[in-house]
Amino acid sequence: MDASGVSDSTDWLNTSLPALTTVESALRCQVCKDFYTTPMITSCSHTFCSLCIRRCLATEGKCPTCRGEEQEVKLRKNWALQELVDAFQAARPGVMKLAQRCNLEAGGRLAKRKLDDTRMEMEEPERPSQARKMRALKRIPSVVDGDGDDYYLSDDGLVPCPICSKRMKEESVFLHLDRCGQDQKRRESVTPSRPTTRSSVLADVTPQTRLPQHVGRALEHLPKLNYSILKENALRKKLSELGLIAGGPRSLLEKRHTEWVHLWNANCDSARPKLKKELLQDLDAWERSQGGSKASFNGLSNSGNDVMKKDFDGAGWAKSHDVEFQRLIANARKKKSSNQPPQGSKKDAERIGTTQDAENGAIDQTRAEQTLVVDPIDQNFNLREEIGKQDYAQRAAPAGTPLTESNSEMLYGCMRHEDIGYKAYPGGGRPSEGGS
Amino acid sequence: MASATASRRLMHEYRALTIDSPEGITAGPIDEDNVFEWEAMIQGPEETPFEGGIFPATLSFPKDYPLSPPSMKFTCEMFHPNVYPSGLVCISILHPPGDDPNHYEQASERWSPIQSVEKILISVMSMLAEPNDESPANVEAAKMWRERRGEYENLVREKVRKLLGL
Ligand SMILES: [Zn+2]
Ligand SMILES: [Zn+2]
Ligand SMILES: [Zn+2]
């Protein structure tokens, strides 16, 4: 597995700061397991990414955690959490580096959990991972920080602050970190801002360059459609009005529209809304990932797995799991045969492995040729010329970039996007839902 | 990003399971080209007739995972009231809350997007220890388990030994 692929709260378990596993786990959405993206709080006080909860509610109408009835209109933004997530993500790489470094010296490795632990977890209704993780923590040899270790020490004998990179004496880092974090907060806006390493650039921008929806109107949410009373032609028309592809079978049209409403509405909640172009790309990517067993669209099929390739170290998996399987099997056999006089030959012993292989081979790997009716995004996106110059990723100036005319334009670009957002959707949002 | 939801989520689960998995459980994608098909190994729980066995299974995930649950199938012989003769596992955590043809399952036990592979495998482990005979997938096994427990347990033990090649 490529470490740069997905990060996970369990990354902390093998560091000198295993307690951060619980902290990070609390900053991640239980549906997608990623850090919260535009967290929304439900009326039952559970929090999910805006997009995640919207999709869940469309499927089930219930909170995934407590199964209480919930409606999208009741969702409220959880700004404080967004801010926390941003700050944590910004600090993560530096802290992780330090924590891994410390642990290397201590040389800790986790034991497997005991099943008793997991049994108990089953009885805990919410966030069962936490209690377990706490138990897991206890088993990790605790590492006292800095017993003479010289991580990050260089010629000047100083170490950099993981937030602002200012160099200082090692023993001052922790004290400084407190202040550094607060300074950063003070300088940045009170509203959630893009995670940055502090470099005073964003901190000094004037209020009007901040993300627009905190000063201006929010993007308007799209209403849901009652598909059962909508004729197919009307639905196609609706899709074209939205700038979406209007082709494909009826069921696909509905699913496409539903997903678009989710993407759009989640984007309305976002502190850092994307351009419509990007949303269309997300929709396109979503559409390509559909198909296959359950959610099959007539004739449309695609494994959607190409996304994974770069994140996935197949050989690593195969190797580590062969070893793991063999260990399990060997243990089992040892246990069993201690009660029973062993009579099986080595050939028999490979049986599990071979039936597995046969089974694997049988698994249908067919990835039918992708026959998407989706036109290239460009043809459908009428706003491209109007905005398209700046990529969202650069819209908020990256940390450390001096605020020049061109990147201040990036910041303003977002505002323009908002304005365009209204024009982009001639059907209009439902005003009553807009202000949430 | 939208498309990656299912695969990213699966990568998270896989990653977490590699770093910190419960004892007696191993699971991960079968090959790098298809993160939607997993292979799992479950250790038979102690003090049950399944003790000592290692049971291979496959998990197939839908494209809209985690909105919908995966299906799980043992790829070894499994004589159990809640496992179809085909190997398909039938327990409530693998059923979406929407459909309950049998009307016997608690909604709270069924699938929800915050459930996980790990929870499924743990549930299956406890299913091995305590079958639910209210809605058996294997009628013969259920009947034997209910009426001739000793015979059932001996049969299971025999199958476990066979599986291990002993
Ligand atoms: Zn989420
Ligand atoms: Zn809830
Ligand atoms: Zn306030």
List CB contacts (< 8 A) between B62 and chain A.
292-295
CB spacing of B32 vs A312 below 8 angstroms: yes
pTM for the complete prediction?
0.59
Chain B residue with Cα closest to A288: B3
**Alpha carbon distance A265, A72 (integer Å):** 10
The predicted structure's pLDDT at residue A372: 37
List CB contacts (< 8 A) between B7 and chain A.
289, 304-305, 307-308
Which of the residues in chain B have pLDDT under 50? 1-3
The predicted structure's pLDDT at residue A120: 42
The predicted structure's pLDDT at residue A239: 93
The predicted structure's pLDDT at residue A29: 97
Chain B residue with Cα closest to A111: B20
Helix/strand/coil (H/E/C) assignment for every residue in A238-271: HHHHCCCCCCCCHHHHHHHHHHHHHHHHHHHHCC
**Alpha carbon distance B67, A59 (integer Å):** 7
Rounded to the nearest angstrom, the minimum Cα separation between A85 and chain B is 18
CB spacing of A304 vs B7 below 8 angstroms: yes
CB spacing of B23 vs A342 below 8 angstroms: no
Half-sphere exposure in the Cβ direction for B116 (13 Å, CA) = 26
**Alpha carbon distance A237, A244 (integer Å):** 10
**Alpha carbon distance B94, A344 (integer Å):** 36
* A197 backbone dihedrals φ, ψ, rounded to 5°: -85, 145
**Alpha carbon distance B124, B24 (integer Å):** 12
Sequence-distant (6+) residues with CB within 8 A of A167 are A156, A158, A159, A160, A161
Per-residue pLDDT of B79-120, as tens digits, reads 999 999 999 999 999 998 765 555 566 677 899 999 999 999
Query: What is the Cα A106 distance to its own chain's centre?
Result: 31
The predicted structure's pLDDT at residue A63: 95
Give me the residue label for tokens 């419509």: A276
Tokens (6 digits) for A203 = 């901190």
- Between the alpha carbon of residue A11 and those of residues A140, B11, B19, B140, the distances in Å are 14, 13, 8, 46
pLDDT by residue for chain A (436 residues), tens only, comes to 443 468 899 999 989 999 999 999 999 999 999 999 999 999 999 999 999 999 999 988 999 999 999 999 999 999 999 999 999 999 999 999 999 888 776 665 554 555 544 444 444 444 444 444 444 433 333 333 434 343 444 456 666 766 666 777 666 766 676 666 555 544 444 444 444 444 443 443 333 333 444 434 457 889 888 898 889 999 999 999 999 999 999 999 999 999 999 999 999 888 888 999 999 999 998 888 886 433 333 333 333 343 344 444 444 555 555 666 666 666 666 655 555 444 444 444 444 444 444 444 443 343 333 333 334 443 333 333 333 334 433 334 444 444 444 443 333 333 333 333 333 333 444 444 444 4
B76 is catalytic: no
Rounded to the nearest angstrom, the minimum Cα separation between B76 and chain A is 8
